[in-house]
């Protein structure tokens, strides 16, 4: 039996001054999944504060960089060029923009709040509101070059401090990843140190 408030959309609209795009589905067992896209990521704290007062639980946070759509053919002379693809709210969809999905649990139902942040942008930390945001935000900061503003404890979680952040945004050769422990490089390293047998 769903407990999603029937006026949730109007409450979210009132909290997000720049606007929202809202939709929800109910599965065959009566479980509601709702999606709310924010036009401006600056509205995140206001929306999260509203959800906190409703007793929701933050389940987790997903961060990724949605691929850019294929480039349209170049406009011929006299034609109007195709518009630059953007997300709801106007952030450019260039393949580098971060999509941040905050999945909230409302007693079994799920509400996902989505914000888009361009490369080099920042997003407010939800950790002061939801303790459960601490680890997911720290993980996001080391996997991407996303800056989480006002995080109370921005320490490394999984990656060693000696490793650069944004591991998900860089190509790391396998031999580097395993410190040459499982490739031809290892043999070459040993031979360089010990030299061939006489």
Partner 1 sequence: MSNFTIPVGPLHVALEEPMYFRIDVHGETVNHVTINAGHVHRGIEYLVTKRNVFQNVVLTERICSLCSNSHPQAYSMAIEQIAGLTVPPRAEYLRAIADEIKRIASHLFNVGILAHLVGFDSLFMHVMEVRERMQDVKESIFGNRMDIGANTIGGVRYDIDPERIGFLQQQLDAIEPEIEEIISIYSTDNSILRRTKGIGVLSHAEALDCGVVGPVARAAGINYDVRVKAPYAAYDRLQVPVHTLSDGDVWSRAMIRLQEAHTSIDLIRQCLAALPEGPTVATEERPPIPPGEAIAKCEAPRGELIYYVRMTDSPKPERVKWRVPSFLNWDALGIMLKEAKIADIAIIVNSIDPCISCTER
CA 165 – CA 145 distance, rounded (Å): 6
Which residues of the chain form contacts with partner 1 (CB under 8 A)?
27-31, 33, 35, 57-60, 62, 64, 66-67, 101, 103, 105, 107-110, 112, 130-132, 134-136, 157-160, 168
In the bound complex, what is the minimum distance in angstroms from residue 37's beta carbon to partner 1?
Answer: 11
Residue 42 or 135 with smaller CB distance to partner 1: 135
Residue 168 or 187 with smaller CB distance to partner 1: 168
Q: Which helix (H) or strand (E) holds 105?
A: strand 98-106
In the bound complex, what is the minimum distance in angstroms from residue 28's beta carbon to partner 1?
Answer: 8
Query: Are the C-beta atoms of 125 and 133 separated by less than 8 Å?
Result: yes
Residue 21 or 57 with smaller CB distance to partner 1: 57
153 CB-contact burial (10 Å; exposed 0-12 / middle 13-18 / buried 19+): exposed
What the block records as the tokens of 64 is 């990724």
Residue 17 or 49 with smaller CB distance to partner 1: 49
- Token pair 């942040």 is found at 117
Residue 12 or 63 with smaller CB distance to partner 1: 63
Query: Are the C-beta atoms of 37 and 114 separated by less than 8 Å?
Result: yes
In the bound complex, what is the minimum distance in angstroms from residue 123's beta carbon to partner 1?
Answer: 16
CA 110 – CA 107 distance, rounded (Å): 8
Query: Are the C-beta atoms of 169 and 146 separated by less than 8 Å?
Result: no
In the bound complex, what is the minimum distance in angstroms from residue 56's beta carbon to partner 1?
Answer: 10
In the bound complex, what is the minimum distance in angstroms from residue 147's beta carbon to partner 1?
Answer: 20
CA 39 – CA 36 distance, rounded (Å): 10
Residue 129 or 189 with smaller CB distance to partner 1: 129
Q: Which helix (H) or strand (E) holds 58?
A: strand 57-64
In the bound complex, what is the minimum distance in angstroms from residue 186's beta carbon to partner 1?
Answer: 20
């Amino acid at each position: 039996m769903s407990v999603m408030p029937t006026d949730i959309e109007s409450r979210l609209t009132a909290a997000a001054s720049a606007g929202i795009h809202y939709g929800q589905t109910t599965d065959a067992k009566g479980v509601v999944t709702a999606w709310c896209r924010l036009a401006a990521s600056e509205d995140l704290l206001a929306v999260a504060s509203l959800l906190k007062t409703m007793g929701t639980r933050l389940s987790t946070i997903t961060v990724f960089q949605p691929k850019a759509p294929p480039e349209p053919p170049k406009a011929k002379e006299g034609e109007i060029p195709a518009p630059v693809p953007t997300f709801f709210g106007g952030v450019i969809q260039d393949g580098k923009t971060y999509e941040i999905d905050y999945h909230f649990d409302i007693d079994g139902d799920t509400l996902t709040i989505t914000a888009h942040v361009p490369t080099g942008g920042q997003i407010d930390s939800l950790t002061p509101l939801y303790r459960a945001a601490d680890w997911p935000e720290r993980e996001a900061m080391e996997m991407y070059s996303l800056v989480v503003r006002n995080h109370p404890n921005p320490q490394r979680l999984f990656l060693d401090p000696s490793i650069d952040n944004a591991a998900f945004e860089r190509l790391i050769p396998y031999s580097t990843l395993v410190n040459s422990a499982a490739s031809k490089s290892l043999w070459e390293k040993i031979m360089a140190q010990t030299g061939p047998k006489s």
